[in-house]
Amino acid sequence: MKKIVVLSGAGMSAESGIGTFRDAGGLWEKYIIDDVATPDGFRRNPALVLDFYNQRRKQLVESKPNEGHLILAELENKYDIHIITQNVDNLHEQAGSTKVLHLHGELMKVRSTSASADVFELSNNNYEINLGDKCPKGYQLRPHIVWFGEEVPEIENAVDIVKTADILVVIGTSMQVYPAASLINYVKTTSTVYLIDPLDIEHLPTHVHVIKNIASKGLKEFVKMID
């Protein structure tokens, strides 16, 4: 079975109504990264950060997987599909994909701010975390998100997966955030690389086949190309 590795970014979930970060009108035009997505921001104003992620979760529980997510889940019938996602939503899993690695954490999980960093699962009916919400050991809970300036614990696992790909398909990421964007450099020389995005992505390696389209339509083109 051919191994297809997917590297997905915010554009993958755009058709589900979840806004991207760096497009016009994206999240980082409305919020200051340093305030809501860094350890320092959380120290300065934890309530603001918790509220930001409560809003992200509210949007997620009101969303559902789009056609692109469903196409990827269905491809598991024919290929060994591994998804490495920068997205913190769980729409790949909701669509039915079984091998999903979250590089930047998961919205529907929280963890303790103590050294043990115990992780807890939230539910669709109970997804808010506020100041004063503590783990059983008495420590404040924080989002299970990799903030800017924090280690990316899954990066080594992601590199190992990319190294064994027959096909790598990059979907809906501006490739501006590292180390995620560097993963494309770990493919075997014999593997084929596709990139699906409606906009031009800068500084791509020359061997990339660009499919200039949104995720769902681009994935349909991709499936025809590899069939």
Among the listed residues 61, 152, 159, 177, the single contact to ligand APR using CB under 6 A:
177
Which active-site residues does the annotation give?
Answer: 104
Task: Give the binding range for ligand APR (CB under 6 A) out of 10-18, 56-64, 131-139, 157-165.
Answer: 10-18
Show contacts with ligand APR in window 117-176 (CB under 6 A): 172-174, 176
Task: Give the binding range for ligand APR (CB under 6 A) out of 6-14, 69-77, 123-131, 136-144.
Answer: 6-14
Cα angle for residues 192, 195, 197 (degrees, 5° grid):
170
Contact 164, 185 (CB under 8 A): no
Count of residues binding ligand APR (CB under 6 A)? 23
CB of 134 to ligand APR, least distance (A): 26
Contact 54, 48 (CB under 8 A): no
Residue 55 one-letter amino acid: Q
Interaction between residue 14 and ligand APR (CB under 6 A): yes
Partner residues linked to 144 by β-bridges: 106
Q: Which is nearer to ligand APR, 14 or 135 (CB)?
A: 14
CB of 1 to ligand APR, least distance (A): 26
| DSSP symbol at 207 | T
Q: Which is nearer to ligand APR, 3 or 22 (CB)?
A: 22
Show contacts with ligand APR in window 190-219 (CB under 6 A): 197-199, 201, 214-215
Q: Tokens standing for 101?
A: 């690695």
- Pairing of β 119-121 and β 141-145: unpaired
Q: Which is nearer to ligand APR, 15 or 93 (CB)?
A: 15
DSSP letters for 64-120 = ---HHHHHHHHGGGTSEEEEEE---S-HHHHHT-S-EEETTEEEEEEEESSTT--EE
Show contacts with ligand APR in window 17-76 (CB under 6 A): 20-23, 26
CB of 150 to ligand APR, least distance (A): 11
Would you tell me which residues interact with ligand APR (CB under 6 A)? 9-11, 14-15, 20-23, 26, 86, 104, 172-174, 176-177, 197-199, 201, 214-215
